[in-house]
Amino acid sequence: MKTRFTLMLMAVLLLVPLMAQAAPRRLVLLFTGDNRGEIAPCGCKQEPQGGLARRKTAIEQERARGLPVVLLDSGNALFREPGRREEPLVQQRAELVLDQMEAQGTAAMAVGERDLSLGLPYLQKATRGKKMKLLSANLVDKAGKAPFAASMVVEAGGLKLGVVGVSPEGSPAGEPGLKGRPPVEVALAEARRLRQTRKVDVVVILAAVPYQQAVKMALLAGDAVDFVVQSNDARGIGIGELVGSHTAVFPAGELGKQVTRLELSVDGPGPSVDLGSGTRARQQLRVVEDNLLKANERLASTQDEPTRAELTRTIVELEGRLRQLEAEVDVKPPAGGRAHQLSYVTLGLAVPDDPVLKQRVEQLEPAGSASAPH
């Protein structure tokens, strides 16, 4: 009996390491940003894109895929202009945007300058009672008091996600009673606090600041920040470039035309490997191969020595670049590390409108009334 118990105990102990090797924790982060009060598809000639009714469909489709989803907004959601426009339609559009952000489960929004166009009291009243948190680590009033939370922690997919919001430096055009302190230093201090005191697994900064400031933020972040998601300039889409040693930075889209998707796989510490870099390397590889073929054809067809010398140097450079790209094509998630895949869901004709929400939108902006691209 004792021998049997000993064997059973040894079997359990042998299984413990296997049980400890759990699958990587996976989470999808969806981002919106730089929406600027848009509620309907743009008046683009090639293909109308965007609109709240398509955004709702895209978010619901993502949730239906089965992975845990956290939805965030990087700011500048509500108004086209940073200054005040006391027009009923402008307010109604902003309120519909806020209503849908809440209905679709947006966990947090950074406060951008275009969210304060009608002043702080308006924004506070319009968001009262909503679950969505407004975040700004650097906005203060004349007494030095912060009107918004600096950050929040969201738990999903077995991960603790730290989210920091940051606004532009200086006073917003629509609310001179507030002032944004230098955003880079304040945001990074809050990110480090989350790492140290809240023991978060991933840190995202929702940066409603000019893109160059977002890049500086990422460059100085070290391992305190994983991703900086920017709004302010309506830059559109990006590639999630790694800045410095650890942090990737990218815009959250423009004018409601996209939903940004970031899929995370976390199996340990360290910087996240960009799985999209393999796809980009393959695309560049085809271009380099084509250029190399053309250079060799020209070399074979010319007898001019200076031209042959120049072509030979070009071929050597292209072959070096070819070898480099071939090494970058096969990108895999590291065992015991972490990886991410960034993509943008364009809200074009392939994404159907939610019919009920489309009717609400058309009450404020009838079909065909969208202005030219802006």
290 with 185, same domain: the answer is no
Q: Residue length, the chain?
A: 374
What distance in Å separates the CA atoms of residue 193 and residue 90, rounded to the nearest whole number? 38
Is residue 14 situated within a structural domain?
no
What distance in Å separates the CA atoms of residue 251 and residue 233, rounded to the nearest whole number? 9
What distance in Å separates the CA atoms of residue 321 and residue 40, rounded to the nearest whole number? 44
352 with 325, same domain: the answer is no
Count of domains for the chain:
2
Token pair of 147, please?
């009107």
266 with 130, same domain: the answer is yes
- The answer to whether residues 129 and 166 touch, using CB atoms and an 8 Å cutoff, is no
Token pair of 47, please?
């293909």
* 6 alpha-carbon distance from chain centroid: 53
What distance in Å separates the CA atoms of residue 20 and residue 336, rounded to the nearest whole number? 12
Reduced 3-state DSSP string for the chain: CHHHHHHHHHHHHHHHHHHHCCCCEEEEEEEECCCCCCCCCCCCCCCCCCCHHHHHHHHHHHHHCCCCEEEEECCCCCCCCCCCCCCHHHHHHHHHHHHHHHHCCEEEEECCHHHCCCCHHHHHHHHCCCCCEEECCCEEECCCCCCCECEEEEEECCEEEEEEEECCCECCCCCCCEEECCHHHHHHHHHHHHHHHHCCCEEEEEECCCHHHHHHHHHHCCCCCCEEEECCCCCECCCCEEECCCEEEEECECCCCEEEEEEEEECCCCCCEECHHHHHHHHHHHHHHHHHHHHHHHHHHCCCHHHHHHHHHHHHHHHHHHHHHHHHHCCCCCCCCEEEEEEEEECCCCCCCCHHHHHHHHHHCCCCCCCCCC
342 with 291, same domain: the answer is no
What distance in Å separates the CA atoms of residue 257 and residue 345, rounded to the nearest whole number? 9
197 with 343, same domain: the answer is yes
286 with 174, same domain: the answer is no
Domain housing 302: 277-329
* Residues in a beta bridge with 165: 206
Is residue 321 situated within a structural domain?
yes
237 with 266, same domain: the answer is yes
Is residue 226 situated within a structural domain?
yes
pLDDT given for residue 278 in this prediction: 60
Residues of the chain with pLDDT under 70: 1-22, 45, 276-285, 324-334, 368-374
Is residue 242 situated within a structural domain?
yes
Strands 69-73 and 106-110: parallel
pLDDT given for residue 19 in this prediction: 40
157-206 confidence digits (pLDDT tens): 999 999 999 999 999 999 999 999 999 999 999 999 999 999 999 999 99
313 with 182, same domain: the answer is no
202 with 339, same domain: the answer is yes
Single pTM value for the model:
0.83
Is residue 8 situated within a structural domain?
no
168 burial class (0-12, 13-18, 19+ CB within 10 angstroms)?
Answer: buried
Tokens 């407004």, located at residue: 134
| CATH code of 271's domain | 3.60.21.10
